[in-house]
Amino acid sequence: MTVNRENAPDAAAARKTPTVAASPQAPDDAASPQAAGSTASAQAAVGAEEPAHPTNRLDEMVHQRHRLGILTIADEAERVEFTYLRETLGLTGGNLSRHLAVLEEAKLIEVAKGYEGRRPRTWVSISAQGRASLDAELDALRQLVARRSQRAARPKPK
Amino acid sequence: MSSDPQALLGELAALRLSARRDRHAYWLPLLLFGALALVATPLYTDSIGPDGLRGGMGGPALAALGGDLLDHATALGWFWLGALIGGYLISLWWYRRHARQVGLQTPTRLYLRTGVLGVLGGLALGPVLMWLLRNSWTPVSEVAQVVLRPVASLLWLGLMPLVVVGAGLLVLARLERSRFLAGTALILLVALALAPVYVNVVDFGATFPRWGFLPVVLVPATILIAAGGAAYLRTARPAR
């Protein structure tokens, strides 16, 4: 499964990219040529029998690995400082700023800038929407893991 | 970070734990309140003992946290009023300083609210209990004498301030998401709940020593200082 589309963030691209949840993708099985050749009605029948694949619930805005890291750390505290995020996630200042801008524009975090003495400080806090998105993302990932475990445990046809 | 869901979940859990460890700063409130309890120890000395007849202290309302039983109840009340206010304020200052240094801020509003409500509740508890036990409708006072007896015992022994400390630590444990602190707070509260029991275990008879009540404050102080020391060592130890 390849869900990380980018390493360097592009705020504009991320804004334009519809979330996976909003545009359901075909499940993993359908990526094979055989599955791709199946009819839409067959897919609909499968969809009616089984719940939607967990990848449909992954949100690209949140799923990008660094943004997921930012949200995870921000969810652990009331506020987190820019320097802590930069050092913990091993990002450059510019790269982190762009990720924060993407998340702030999506209203998943709030950014407060100020000074402590003469030292500039940027504090990041997760919003209620950000917390809900993070929970949904983690839930979808857990479902993916559970689905994979179930598939591995299923006896293979001879 | 990995793109494999299982590995990704593991890395996120590690990231969360690492942030939580960096955020933990509860060793100072534990050591601070433990030290304050130790400082208060001389005020828990008493010349009469638990079974002696005595009149009410009749101290000022603001000194009500010291209870109504011990020789130094009024001084104890003033001490704990200042110690609780000072202790909570120092704890808040400490969390702000820690947030500035580390870059992760713990929410402390609920902790502060618990402290304020605890102090006000501790001050109001005496008159409310007295009214319920003595001046209310007979069936109410009879039930209150049974149900509220343990609470009244803690109040009279001057232990309500340590209950406020325990409640604050329990709230702090939730805010810090720390099982260690939650366990410490629960052990402290259980030790306090048992204080009226173990103060009467040794029968001193007519020769009650002045230090007879000291275990009620020494045990909680030891719990707080031991847990604070352990928490400090855990914080100071480099993460593996």
What is the separation of C-alpha A125 from the centre of its chain, rounded to a whole number of angstroms? 18
Helix (H, G, I), strand (E, B) or coil at A122: strand
On the 0-12 / 13-18 / 19+ scale of CB atoms within 10 A, B210 is: middle
In a domain, A112, yes or no: yes
In a domain, A78, yes or no: yes
Domain edges within chain B: 28-43+69-236
In a domain, A48, yes or no: no
Distance between B26 CA and the closest CA of chain A, angstroms: 15
- Is a pLDDT exceeding 60 seen at residue B104? yes
* Chain B contact for A136 (CB, 8 A cutoff): no
User: What is the model's pLDDT at position B224?
Assistant: 98
CATH number at residue A134: 1.10.10.10
Q: Which of A66, A68, A73 sits opposite B19 (nearest CB)?
A: A73
Look at B103 and A80 and tell me if their CB atoms are within 8 Å: yes
Number of domains in chain A: 1
**The dihedral formed by the CA atoms of B22, B26, B27 and B30, expressed in degrees to the nearest 10:** 180
Domain that holds residue A100: 53-158
For A66-102, how does the pLDDT look when each residue is reduced to its tens digit (9 = 90+)? 999 999 999 999 999 999 999 999 999 999 999 999 9
Look at A81 and B104 and tell me if their CB atoms are within 8 Å: yes
For B25-82, how does the pLDDT look when each residue is reduced to its tens digit (9 = 90+)? 999 999 999 999 999 999 998 877 666 666 666 778 888 898 888 888 899 999 999 9
Look at A141 and B5 and tell me if their CB atoms are within 8 Å: yes
In a domain, A25, yes or no: no
Q: What angle do CA A111, A16, A61 make, to 5 degrees?
A: 50
Closest-CA residue of chain A to B11: A69
In a domain, A132, yes or no: yes
Q: Count how many residues are written for chain A.
A: 158
On the 0-12 / 13-18 / 19+ scale of CB atoms within 10 A, B75 is: middle
